[in-house]
């Protein structure tokens, strides 16, 4: 069997718990407490670092929020005129929202406001950086050119992480002189609210660089999972893709409505998955644990997909009515408001976890 990632990391994709959190909560059957590095007890401390955020779209803004709320100095750069200055406004708004929901305290709020700098050139943004997070377009050629410039102008040994959703470092960094410090550091949107981050090194990425990036992410309250090897889509998108493939298939075959399929997740599996990963879930869903579960249900699942038809044409399903239904429910002109409402709901969920209000037992 080819191992891409360990079981515990797949659990963290769903659960988002550092270290012993999952096991400790299950053993003690007590609330999960989110101990992020925002002046909260038990948070890991790290010397202030200089972080360069390259590309100031939504992901870049969220990354900047992650680092400044934890006390690191962040320099922003975007080649589009005015983008970095506008990002400062958005980042400060995010910090205020986090403070309003009890996710950072007053000192972290003020500190975050004071730690943002805008650079006028790429060279000046990375020249003294301890870590660089690149958020350029999903284009291998552009990403390679951008990484080459970052490698040329940043201090030797400074890790260069990319937020790419699917381009392996072995593709965009192969010809980079300092390729040993290049790796994928893929967040889940929005990363200032969703803690899991995929660290995907290339075959030549230095292990010390991987360890340094993991340590930094741990210290700012993220939940890094390290892939053992590169694979298309990494882990999170492959898990999401498997679910989307089946969802499109069920809709295309007329098995259930779009609304019913969405409810099956947000009012069903999604609730459980916010606490437990897939392996932990099945381990608790049979008296004898995971081996008993596989014994009872393995054949059923195997036969369920034995004669799976060709996957549905997603474009055809969208054109056949899915887009119209979703736009009727959520007009495109109001997407921004809906995204903000989603983020508020996520902050409320995180706040509830932080306050120990989400309890669960093994009766799932």
Q: Are the C-beta atoms of 76 and 60 separated by less than 8 Å?
A: yes
Distances (CA, A) of 323 to 195, 319, 335: 30, 6, 14
H helical segments located in the chain: 7-15, 21-28, 58-68, 83-100, 106-114, 122-126, 140-153, 169-172, 207-219, 236-252, 258-264, 270-273, 278-284, 289-304, 314-317, 323-329, 335-354
Each residue of 174-190: b (16+ CB within 10 Å) or e?
Answer: eebebbbbbbbbbbbeb
Domain 37-226 matching CATH 3.40.50.720: the answer reads yes
Provide the pLDDT for residue 307.
Answer: 75
Q: Which residues contact 7 (CB under 8 A, 6 or more apart)?
A: 279
Domain 236-354 matching CATH 3.40.50.20: the answer reads no
Query: Each residue's pLDDT tens digit in the chain (364 positions)?
Result: 345 555 455 444 433 433 333 343 333 333 333 334 445 333 466 789 999 999 999 999 999 999 999 999 999 999 999 999 999 999 999 999 999 988 999 988 988 889 999 999 999 999 999 999 999 999 999 999 999 999 999 999 999 999 999 999 999 999 999 999 999 999 999 999 999 999 999 999 999 999 999 999 999 999 999 999 999 999 999 999 999 999 999 999 999 999 999 999 999 999 888 878 889 888 888 888 889 888 999 889 888 887 777 788 878 888 888 888 888 888 888 888 888 888 888 888 888 777 665 454 434 3
Provide the pLDDT for residue 352.
Answer: 78
Phi, psi angles (nearest 5°) of residue 74: -120, 130
Provide the pLDDT for residue 75.
Answer: 98
User: Which ranges in the chain are annotated with CATH 3.40.50.720?
Assistant: 37-226
User: Which ranges in the chain are annotated with CATH 1.10.1040.10?
Assistant: 236-354
First to last CA, the chain: 30
The model's pTM: 0.81
């Amino acid at each position: 069997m080819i191992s891409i990632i360990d079981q515990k990391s797949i659990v963290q994709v769903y659960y988002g718990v550092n270290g012993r959190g999952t096991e400790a909560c299950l053993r003690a059957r007590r609330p999960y407490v989110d101990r992020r590095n925002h002046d909260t007890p038990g948070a890991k401390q790290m010397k202030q670092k200089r972080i360069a955020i390259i590309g100031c779209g939504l992901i870049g803004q969220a990354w900047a929020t992650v680092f400044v709320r934890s006390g690191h100095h962040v320099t922003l750069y975007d080649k589009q005129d005015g983008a970095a200055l506008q990002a400062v406004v958005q980042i400060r708004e995010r910090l205020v929202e986090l403070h309003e929901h009890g996710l950072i305290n007053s000192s972290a709020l003020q500190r975050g406001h004071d730690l943002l700098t805008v650079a006028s050139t790429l060279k000046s943004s990375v020249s003294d950086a301890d870590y660089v997070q690149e958020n350029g377009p999903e284009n291998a050629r552009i990403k390679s050119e951008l990484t080459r410039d970052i490698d040329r102008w940043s201090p030797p040994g400074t890790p260069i992480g990319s937020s790419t959703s699917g381009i392996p470092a072995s593709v965009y960094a192969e010809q980079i002189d300092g390729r040993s410090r290049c790796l994928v550091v893929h967040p889940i949107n929005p990363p200032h609210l969703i803690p899991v981050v995929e660290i995907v090194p290339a075959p030549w990425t230095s292990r010390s660089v991987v360890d340094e990036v993991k340590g930094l992410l741990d210290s700012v309250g993220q939940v890094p999972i390290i892939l053992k090897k590169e694979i298309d889509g990494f882990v999170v998108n492959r898990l999401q893709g498997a679910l989307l493939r089946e969802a499109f298939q069920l809709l295309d075959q007329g098995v259930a409505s779009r609304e019913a399929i969405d409810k099956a997740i947000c009012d069903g599996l999604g609730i459980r998955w916010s606490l437990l990963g897939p392996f932990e879930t099945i381990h608790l869903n049979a008296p004898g644990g995971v081996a008993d579960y596989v014994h009872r249900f393995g054949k059923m699942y195997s036969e369920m997909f034995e004669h799976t038809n060709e996957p549905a044409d997603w474009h055809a399903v969208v054109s056949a009515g899915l887009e119209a239904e979703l736009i009727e429910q959520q007009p495109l002109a109001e997407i921004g408001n809906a995204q903000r409402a989603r983020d508020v709901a996520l902050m409320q969920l995180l706040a509830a976890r932080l306050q120990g209000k989400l309890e669960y037992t093994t009766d799932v």
